[in-house]
Each structure stands twice: as structure tokens, then as C-alpha cells.
Amino acid sequence: MHDKIIDAVKEAIKSAKERKFLESVDLAINLRDVDLSIPKNRINEEVLLPHGRGKEIKIAVFGSGETALKGKECADLVIPPEEIDKLSEDKRRARKIANEYEFFLAEAPLMARIGKVLGVILGPRGKMPRPIPPGSDPCQMVNNLKKTVRMRSKDKRTFHVPVGTRDMDPEEISGNIEEIIKRLEHKLERGVQNIESIYVKTTMGPAVRIKLR
């Protein structure tokens, strides 16, 4: 399958016009014979890409004390505990932060409070914070999340997953795609038989089908 994937990646990049911005490379995944009206059948996975995303994404940390100090070294935003209630009162700012930042981390003792105050905003976006174990350095978690993508179908049989950027080596993009497919096959009850099709494309380029069979 590796050769088929890299051929599709190369074709997708070659057939896309040059743009004035760095395009992402995305997968469009179409499922079949999966009842996505049942929540447990839906895809909601986080995948650590072996070759990274090709661009920086923003990570926010809820924390205080040592966690906040360490978080400032690696995260894009540190939100102290006293700001949590303020965000609940300023829904516009809270929504802006939820949209701007890809992943959230939080000190374990703050998780319940964040869920109660901000769950209505973060929950539907699939962005509830991951807990930081007591005494842990959040930077390792932040650095891993910067290479992580969310694979989320909700109740739709077609969904999209970023797998890199146009300026990445096609071999690296292909390696990321293989990791996505491997996780997807593991998650689906019938593996590859539950995948109708997968296409790869740049942000504004034509879609190229990856031949799975």
C-alpha cells in the first residue's frame, strides 16, 4: 500500500496550482456500513503523526505555579485558574480561544471546574483539556500534541484529517497517512472493509484517490 499512497500524494501535489500561502495536505475519508447515529460507532481519535504536521498549531494550558511557569516555555497560552470564571462570563472571548487553539491541557485539580464552567464551549468542539498529572512537566505533552491530529467523524460518514503541508517530503506525508489508516482500521469493526474511499488533496487542489485494494 505504501507505493499507492506515495503515488497519490505526489499526484495531488503535482496537480495543485501554486498558491500564495502554504497549503495543508488533507485526507477526505468516506466510511461505509457504519451506523454513525450510534455514538460509540463514531470516530473520535487523536493520532500522533510520526513526521509531524508540517506547521505550528496552538496549544493552551490551564495551570498555576510550576505548571504555569513551565507552560510558558512551550505552550502558546497559559490560563491561570482565576481566569476560568472570567471566561465563563465572557462567552465571546471563550469561543475565540476555543476556536484559535487546537488542544488544551489542564492541571488535574482544575478539570472538574473547567468542565462545569467551559464544558459547553469546549465539549462540542472536542477540545476538553487533557489532564496534566501532578508534578509532570507539561512541555512533553505540549510537544507531542503539536504533532497530533484529531480524527473525528461525528455523525457524518465523510470527514477530513490534516496529514501535513505541501512543502513536506512526500515520503513523510505518506508515513503520516499510513499511521492514520492503521489507526482507522483498528478502530473500525471490519477494518478496511468499512472504508469506502480515501482521497488526498492540498487545501485548494484536486482530490486524488488512494487505492486501498
**What domain range is 64 assigned to?**
59-145
> Which tens digit of pLDDT belongs to each residue from 164-180?
999 999 999 999 999 99
CB-neighbour burial class of residue 171 (10 A; exposed 0-12, middle 13-18, buried 19+): middle
Which cell goes with 198?
480515501
Same domain, 28 and 102: no
CB-neighbour burial class of residue 50 (10 A; exposed 0-12, middle 13-18, buried 19+): exposed
**CATH number for the domain that contains residue 187:** 3.30.190.20
pLDDT level of residue 62 (50, 70, 90 thresholds): very high
pLDDT score for 207 = 97
**CATH number for the domain that contains residue 98:** 3.40.50.790
Same domain, 71 and 173: no
pLDDT score for 213 = 72
DSSP string, 65-131: HHHHHHHHHH-SEEE-HHHHHHHHH-HHHHHHHHHH-SEEEEEGGGHHHHHHHHHHHHTTTT-PPEE
Residue 91, CA distances (Å) to 45, 82, 113, 182 in order: 27, 16, 16, 38
DSSP string, 6-67: HHHHHHHHHHSPP-SS--EEEEEEEE-S--TTSGGGS-EEEEE-TT--SS---EEEE--HHH
**Structural domains of the chain, count:** 2
Same domain, 34 and 95: no
Same domain, 86 and 121: yes
Same domain, 49 and 65: no
Same domain, 102 and 127: yes
pTM of the model: 0.88
> Which tens digit of pLDDT belongs to each residue from 189-208?
999 999 999 999 999 999 99
pLDDT of residue 1 exceeding 90? no
Same domain, 155 and 122: no
Average pLDDT of the residues in 23-28? 97
pLDDT level of residue 212 (50, 70, 90 thresholds): confident
Where is the domain boundary, 130, 145, 160?
145
Average pLDDT, the chain: 94
> Which tens digit of pLDDT belongs to each residue from 105-120?
999 999 999 999 999 9
Residue 152: strand, helix, or coil: strand
pLDDT of residue 82 exceeding 90? yes
Which cell goes with 193?
472493509
pLDDT level of residue 52 (50, 70, 90 thresholds): very high
CB 184 within 8 A of CB 194: no
Phi/psi-derived region of residue 154, left when phi > 0, alpha when psi is between -120 and 50, beta in every other case: left
Where is the domain boundary, 145, 161, 185?
145
> Which tens digit of pLDDT belongs to each residue from 38-49?
999 999 999 999
Which cell goes with 201?
488533496
Same domain, 48 and 20: yes
